[in-house]
């Protein structure tokens, strides 16, 4: 009865469709179709605020006494997405994990800003290929195209603001998502233009090409976890590092230690430009993770870690970065495969090392929640199996429940003797250092030959 009355209360608040300005509490609820876990976790930054478990109808409810107005995100492992919350909000979501972002819809108070931000997120994903085709344009023409696209989105935001009367904070967040998302393409332009045109040097840019850089705020706490803002910072720092190095270091940056050299530039730039603690730590983490996950000599890796710890000794992510560094050292050639247990289609446990006896074995990874990647990688493996008949190709499924995995094996006619299922996503990805969906591991007789191969580039 208590639970019934509680749910009735929530439905009443939603039916009103207006923010209750007399309360600081927030209702956040929803329905997850095809759940991949039994709970939803709400975060502010990287701090968990509340956890709600799904009921028999795959619904969840959270009631928070108060929130710090602004961008939050919710996680239904292994996926996550934004939710913008303000005091008095009562908001419900519905999504299907098979198409997590595409199916996500919000209703209730706060629905306008949240649905708009999802819409912009999906639009940005679709635009990437279209904009990639524009990189061959001259810089003035490319900049004009970006201006036009940005203004179109800002006009949509203004129309929603006129209709819904967004708060100043909500408008700021949506506006920043649009403008910083656009600036990412501007930062990427000189590099992709050279690639598309085949020019040997960077194209000369007009003096005002990066005029927006004059208004960049490196220390806006409200935007720290806004993906376009954060991704812009990554592109921007990469661009500055390359240009600074090209100008100041001459041909030295083209030596065998180029990646180490450029990443040391990035570390120093973060140190000089970014003071806001969370953004600073996150950007340092990104540089470290990106560098460590790309193979380099043990000497260079050690030098990078020394520099990193000198500049960011108290980084909030230090334990994670150290684990990755130690894990990479354990995944070097001639080391034994880690002790991991997988499951066959008959649900029998099998050790990872047992699957590499005899032939050279290539382990690749896929997920039932990313069907495009699933089809592409299995098509690629089909070709490789013909080209390399002396290799054994083993698929390892991640973040899919066993029943759905077994169904996919049947539906697509996959060889069950060459497909295995992992039950602990975090442990497998951390142990095997899986950050690239096209990553593969080559081993033989339980010994690693190449732990950082790629199914498209390494064969």
Query: 105-108 and 439-444 as β-strands: parallel, antiparallel, unpaired?
Result: unpaired
What are the pLDDT digits (tens) for 111-158? 999 999 999 988 888 888 899 999 999 999 999 999 999 999 999 999
What are the pLDDT digits (tens) for 26-56? 999 999 999 988 999 999 998 999 999 999 9
Contact 450, 442 (CB under 8 A): yes
Instruction: Look at residue 345 and tell me whether its pLDDT is greater than 90.
Output: yes
Residue 455, both tokens: 């199914």
Instruction: Look at residue 85 and tell me whether its pLDDT is greater than 90.
Output: yes
Q: At what angle do helices 298-311 and 258-273 cross, to 10 degrees?
A: 10
- Percent of the residues in the chain that have a pLDDT greater than 70, as a whole number: 93
Instruction: Look at residue 12 and tell me whether its pLDDT is greater than 50.
Output: no
Query: 391-398 and 419-421 as β-strands: parallel, antiparallel, unpaired?
Result: parallel
Question: What's residue 179's pLDDT?
Answer: 96
Question: What's residue 192's pLDDT?
Answer: 95
Higher pLDDT, residue 7 or 57: 57
Question: Which one, of 105, 77, 103, 101, lies nearest residue 91 by Cα?
Answer: 105
Burial 64-82 (b: 16+ CB within 10 A, else e): beebebbbbbbbbebbebb
Question: What's residue 360's pLDDT?
Answer: 95
Question: What's residue 23's pLDDT?
Answer: 67
Residue 162 pLDDT class (50, 70, 90 cuts)? very high
Contact 433, 324 (CB under 8 A): yes
Looking at the chain, how many residues does it have?
459
What are the pLDDT digits (tens) for 115-127? 999 999 888 888 8
Coil, helix or strand at residue 187: helix
User: Residue range 412-425: average pLDDT?
Assistant: 94
Coil, helix or strand at residue 112: helix
Question: What's residue 334's pLDDT?
Answer: 93
CA dihedral in degrees (283, 284, 290, 293; nearest 10)? Answer: -150
Instruction: Look at residue 201 and tell me whether its pLDDT is greater than 90.
Output: no
Domains of the chain by range and CATH?
A: 2-108 (2.60.40), 117-330 (no CATH), 341-454 (3.40.30.10)
Averaged confidence pLDDT in the chain = 90
Question: What's residue 21's pLDDT?
Answer: 55
Residue 8 pLDDT class (50, 70, 90 cuts)? very low
Query: Between the CA of residue 410 and those of 103, 355, 363, 414, 419, what are the distances in Å?
Result: 26, 21, 20, 7, 11
């Amino acid at each position: 009865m208590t639970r019934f009355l509680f749910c009735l209360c929530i439905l009443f608040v939603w039916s009103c469709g207006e923010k209750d300005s007399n309360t600081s509490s927030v209702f956040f609820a929803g329905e997850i179709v095809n759940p991949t876990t039994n709970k939803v976790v709400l975060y502010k930054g990287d701090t968990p605020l509340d956890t709600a478990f799904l009921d028999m109808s795959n619904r969840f409810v959270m009631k928070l006494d108060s929130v710090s107005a602004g961008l939050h995100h919710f996680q239904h492992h292994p996926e996550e997405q934004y939710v913008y919350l303000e005091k008095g909000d009562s908001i419900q979501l519905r999504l299907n994990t098979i198409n997590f972002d595409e199916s996500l819809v919000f209703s209730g108070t706060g629905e306008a800003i949240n649905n708009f931000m999802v819409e912009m997120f999906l639009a940005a994903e679709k635009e990437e290929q279209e904009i990639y085709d524009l990189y061959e344009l001259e810089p003035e023409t490319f900049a004009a195209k970006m201006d036009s696209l940005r203004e179109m989105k800002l006009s949509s935001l203004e129309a929603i603001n006129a209709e819904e009367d967004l708060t100043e904070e909500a408008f700021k967040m949506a506006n920043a998502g649009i403008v910083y998302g656009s600036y990412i393409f501007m930062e990427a332009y000189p590099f992709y233009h050279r690639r598309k045109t085949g020019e040997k040097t960077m194209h000369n840019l007009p003096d005002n090409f990066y005029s927006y850089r004059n208004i960049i705020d490196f220390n806006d706490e409200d935007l720290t976890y806004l993906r376009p803002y954060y991704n812009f910072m990554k592109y921007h720092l990469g661009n500055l590092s390359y240009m600074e190095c090209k100008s100041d270091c001459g041909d030295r940056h083209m030596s065998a230690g180029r990646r180490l050299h450029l990443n040391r530039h990035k570390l120093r730039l973060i140190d000089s430009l970014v003071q806001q603690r969370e953004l600073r730590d996150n950007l340092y983490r990104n540089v470290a993770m990106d560098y460590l996950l790309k193979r380099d000599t043990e000497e260079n890796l050690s030098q990078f870690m020394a520099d990193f710890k000198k500049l960011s000794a108290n980084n909030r992510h230090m334990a994670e970065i150290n684990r990755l560094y130690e894990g990479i050292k354990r995944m070097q050639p001639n080391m034994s495969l880690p002790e991991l247990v997988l499951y066959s289609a008959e649900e029998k446990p099998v050790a990872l090392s047992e699957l590499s006896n005899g032939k050279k074995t290539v382990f690749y990874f896929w997920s039932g929640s990313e069907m495009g990647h699933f089809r592409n990688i299995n098509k690629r493996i089909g070709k490789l199996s013909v080209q390399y008949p002396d290799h054994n190709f083993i698929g390892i499924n991640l973040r899919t429940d066993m029943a759905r995995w077994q169904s996919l094996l049947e539906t697509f006619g996959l060889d069950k003797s060459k497909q295995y299922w992992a039950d602990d996503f975090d442990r497998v990805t951390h142990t095997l250092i899986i950050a690239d969906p096209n990553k593969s591991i080559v081993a033989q007789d339980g010994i690693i030959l190449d732990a950082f191969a790629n199914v498209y580039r390494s064969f």
